[in-house]
């Protein structure tokens, strides 16, 4: 049974539309931290982690490997990346740096308004080394998500690329997890 995940003080927790065939993806959780809070006429951005697979660690000293295969229904992060001329293989944090320096936000607003939900395919291997898992009893594997809000409308853009893949332990601490496309 997956432990109940408690949001930290500055995080928002909510469900998200997800379609994955793995039977152990019983619950899907996103938590968000504020990236940049703006007046209502500006875009407010949040950074979050979207858990796609939970793995109970029953013994120590072993590497963990697996696959994430399926699809997620999300707004397409590639469109956000195009606003700042970033390759789709870039980390979400590079996008966040560009966002924070964008004083106009006009192109980002237009992209936000034109974005529709899409099915995004996921087909990746992941691995975590035993030394990174010391003391971890539950590993959550997933991807970073950028939540944008303007004038009360919110859209979540899950960044499904190896640079934005990662892991969290049962307390929400980051665990190094490597990803590679299959």
Residue 111 in any domain: the answer is: yes
Residue 3 in any domain: the answer is: no
Residue 6 in any domain: the answer is: no
Tell me the whole-structure pTM to 2 decimals. Answer: 0.77
pLDDT above 70 coverage of the chain, percent: 77
Residue 2 in any domain: the answer is: no
User: What is the rounded average pLDDT for all residues in the chain?
Assistant: 81
**Residue 99 confidence (pLDDT):** 93
Where in the sequence is the domain holding 92, given as residue range(s)? 12-181
Go through 76-96 and write b for each residue having 16 or more CB atoms within 10 A of its CB, e for each that does not.
Answer: bbbbbbebbebeeebbbeebe
Residue 131 in any domain: the answer is: yes
Go through 59-71 and write b for each residue having 16 or more CB atoms within 10 A of its CB, e for each that does not.
Answer: eeeeebebebebb
Residue 87 in any domain: the answer is: yes
Task: Give the number of domains in the chain.
Answer: 1
Q: 31-40, 58-67, 104-113, 169-178: which range is least confident on average?
A: 31-40
Indicate the pLDDT class of residue 42, thresholds 50, 70 and 90: confident
**Residue 32 confidence (pLDDT):** 47
**Residue 136 confidence (pLDDT):** 93
Residue 7 in any domain: the answer is: no
């Amino acid at each position: 049974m997956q432990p109940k995940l408690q949001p930290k003080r500055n995080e928002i927790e909510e469900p998200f539309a997800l379609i994955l065939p793995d039977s152990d993806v019983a619950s899907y959780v996103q938590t968000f931290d504020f990236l940049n809070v703006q007046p209502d006429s500006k875009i407010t951005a949040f950074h979050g982690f979207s858990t796609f697979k939970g793995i109970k660690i029953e013994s120590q000293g072993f590497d963990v490997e697996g696959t994430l295969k399926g699809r997620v229904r999300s707004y397409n992060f590639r469109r956000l990346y195009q606003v700042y001329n970033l390759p789709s293989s870039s980390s979400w944090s590079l996008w966040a740096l560009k966002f924070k320096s964008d004083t106009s936000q006009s192109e980002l607003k237009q992209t936000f308004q034109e974005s529709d939900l899409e099915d995004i395919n996921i087909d990746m291997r992941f691995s975590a080394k035993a030394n990174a898992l010391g003391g971890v009893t539950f590993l959550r594997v997933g991807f970073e998500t950028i939540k944008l809000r303007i004038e009360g409308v919110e859209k979540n853009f899950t960044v499904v690329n190896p640079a934005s893949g990662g892991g969290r332990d049962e307390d929400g601490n980051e665990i190094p997890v490597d990803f590679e496309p299959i």
